A and B are shown apart, each in its own frame.
Chain A
């Protein structure tokens, strides 16, 4: 009995305490919600440039008419269609890129090739390189970005048959990343010199450069010991050494 008696008030206390705690929690939540709403209102009242920056996020572009038409036309070759900050980004199967670009060019009015560039993602699973195409429709001022994954050994179909202007940017992607392009009329280096080994924009290419063996002044440099930025070959012109020796003798 005594136990029960003792228990009763405890239970009652417990229930009361629980109720009080719940009420307090509710009040806190309400206060927090109110504060949050007030903060949001204050944030919204601020001019746009004083608000916290809103970082753009990826969204599925299911309702986009161009993405829908392409998905219907090319089916599984269109790997994904998403938007980020208003830009439509399509991931395309490597071998289907020319057909996708052709239908964008012929059927959707994307008559201008803005840019082609490579990119390197060595930490990524699967193919490490990406080729990124920017197309533009001059009438509707819309842009589309196409992305293709590839690796060193599998060439991407060239877009030169569609746009003659694809020639140089594809050469640059080859030069900088070693990405090959099939059916390209002139797959040679463009910015680096012929005979250069390596692809400078790859992530594993050292920033300070590599020993190229390019002797600029053969009378001064030994073969395969040309000047390379940052590596400090320690070379001095011979006449300076003579001059220094002469100065030392004079002293």
Chain B
């Protein structure tokens, strides 16, 4: 047996080599099938190259094959934890292209559905983000309330995740009897639940150690990368499409847009927590003001877009600006239907945020971007 090599210079004995590490696509902390090719120097990340496309299903090609009405279910399957906002962005683009106007009752119900969707999406984000960082308990708390939101969805449209709950021109059905009471009961008690989650995390020393100052994104970086949504608002840009270009019933309700200036993982957490509270305010006001009337506009039997017309319509989804760019060609099918996915742009900044950070911070940073790979890859 050879004697251990104990003679040599310090450098030859403690030689440090950079290592390549494939993080994903089956790693639980990548929230789906994201693969990050990392170059690590010990625990320090010196290079990060995201590889996406594992969930590419060609949705934009499928849009071109189906009439405008049949395309709504495809939108459910992009950001599959926030189907209602996807539906709204798509049907909004079709309405803009074909000149349809939505009745006020439908606009209010759409607003309610979108805000409930924002709550459920943020709850899922909080649960998984906290688990990634090592806090198990919030998962059980948030899924308790998320279940109630999903029950409300199920009662309205029969589905819990892939809602398919909007149509160009309005809604497929009116609210069931008693739904507004149950929804109101939920939003009245929900702010106390947010306090409960915050009680677990906001002043928790471990949570703050893992999130404060981690993944700091400046305002300039955010604008350079087209980052939108809560990530942008945590970097000091108070931009929210619900306030900037009010759509549906957002112009008629009172709510605040939370803005934080630190740009780190902790501030992004605070923005989302406050957004959930504001969402309950919006739902409460919409329920109080809910007008009567039809939920579907008068529309042609076959919806066609005029040749060579195009429209881009974007809304504030839970993850950022989700928009649809649709080109018509005189047939009931779109010529081109492009999705502007917020996760795609928010994910692009991850290599810049993880540079020279530790591997454990990477998990926190990927978690805080709140990506859904179904939307990144489409």
Min distance, Cβ B143 to any Cβ of chain A, angstroms: 32
CB-CB < 8 A to A176: which residues of B?
Answer: 60
Of the candidates B98, B225, B245, B308, the one whose C-beta lies within 8 Å of that of A164 is: B225
Q: Are A47 and B103 in contact (CB under 8 A)?
A: yes
Interface residues of A in 101-129 (CB under 8 A from B): 111-115, 117, 119-121
Number of contacting residues on A, CB 8 A? Answer: 47
Binds A, one of B72-80, B157-165, B310-318: B310-318
* 0/1 interface trace, chain A 207-251, chain B, CB 8 Å (1 if under): 100000000000000000000000000000000000000000000
Number of interface residues of B (CB under 8 A): 54
Residues of chain A contacted by B65 (CB below 8 angstroms)? 207
Q: Tell me if B344 and A168 are in contact (CB < 8 A).
A: yes
Q: A165, B345: Cβ atoms under 8 Å?
A: yes
B226 engages A165 (CB within 8 Å): yes
For A120, list chain B residues within 8 Å (CB).
336
B309 touching A84, Cβ below 8 Å:
yes
A123 to B42, CA, bound (A): 56
Q: Are A141 and B244 in contact (CB under 8 A)?
A: yes
User: How far apart are B227's CB and chain A's nearest CB, in angstroms?
Assistant: 8
Contact partner of A87 among B224, B306, B308, B311, CB < 8 A? B311
Residue-wise, chain B 27-69 has the 8 Å CB interface mask toward A (1 for contact) of 0000000000000000000000000110010101110010000
Complex: A205 Cα to B61 Cα, angstroms:
10
| Residue contact A134 to B312, C-beta cutoff 8 Å | yes
Residues 72-122 of A contacting B (Cβ, < 8 Å): 84-85, 87, 89, 111-115, 117, 119-121
**Which chain B residues border A89 with CB–CB below 8 Å?**
310
Question: Which residues of A in the span 165-213 have a Cβ within 8 Å of any Cβ on B?
Answer: 165, 167-169, 176, 189-193, 200-201, 205, 207
Q: Is the CB–CB distance between B224 and A164 below 8 Å?
A: yes
Known contacts A117-B338, A192-B53; decide if A51 and B101 are in contact (CB<8 Å): yes
Residues of B within 8 A of A134 (CB): 312, 323, 325, 340
Encoded as 1 (CB less than 8 Å from any B CB) or 0, chain A from 41 to 56 comes to: 0000001111111111
Nearest-Cβ distance from residue B35 to partner chain A, whole angstroms: 12
Contact: B348 with A87, CB < 8 Å? Answer: no
The A-contacting residues of B in range 72-117, CB under 8 angstroms, are 96-103
Partner-B contacts on A (CB < 8 A): 47-58, 84-85, 87, 89, 111-115, 117, 119-121, 132, 134, 138, 141, 143, 145, 163-165, 167-169, 176, 189-193, 200-201, 205, 207
Query: Apart from A55-B98, A57-B306, what are 11 other A-B pairs with CB-CB below 8 Å?
Result: A49-B170, A55-B309, A56-B96, A112-B226, A114-B321, A115-B226, A117-B340, A119-B327, A138-B223, A163-B225, A201-B60
Pull 5 A–B residue pairs with CB atoms less than 8 Å apart, ordered by A.
A50-B298, A114-B323, A163-B224, A191-B52, A201-B58
